[in-house]
């Protein structure tokens, strides 16, 4: 899968996932325009991307395309803290 097709699919999957997990009573939705790619890599027939949304929820998403099986895996993570330690 080429990078542009992978990015488009990732944004759609994250948009769908985030919208599905929002509180339905709020009436909000996450569009593909609300999703951005933080990091992207392609090795042989495989792709990997880190993505997030404009929502202030601390979530980020890891998407992996397995070119051998034509499958995309989505992992959703929640950021709990960001601590800076001076060394």
Residues 34-69: tens digit of each pLDDT: 999 999 999 999 999 999 999 988 899 999 999 999
Alpha-carbon distance 28 to 76, whole Å?
Answer: 19
Cβ atoms 61, 14 nearer than 8 A = yes
**Does 74 have pLDDT greater than 80?**
yes
Give the per-residue pLDDT at 81: 85
Instruction: Read off the pTM.
Output: 0.88
Query: For the chain, what are the domain ranges?
Result: 3-78
Q: How confident is the model at residue 3 (pLDDT cuts 50, 70, 90)?
A: very high
pLDDT tens digit string along 12-40? Answer: 999 999 999 987 777 788 999 999 999 99
């Amino acid at each position: 899968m080429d990078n542009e097709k992978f990015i488009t699919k990732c944004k759609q999957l994250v948009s769908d996932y985030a919208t599905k997990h929002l509180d339905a009573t709020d009436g909000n939705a996450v569009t593909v325009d609300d999703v951005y790619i933080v990091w992207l890599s392609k090795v042989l027939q495989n792709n990997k991307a880190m993505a997030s949304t404009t929502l202030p929820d601390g979530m980020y998403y890891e998407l992996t395309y397995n070119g051998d099986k034509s499958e995309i895996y989505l992992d959703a993570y929640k950021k709990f803290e960001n601590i800076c330690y001076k060394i």
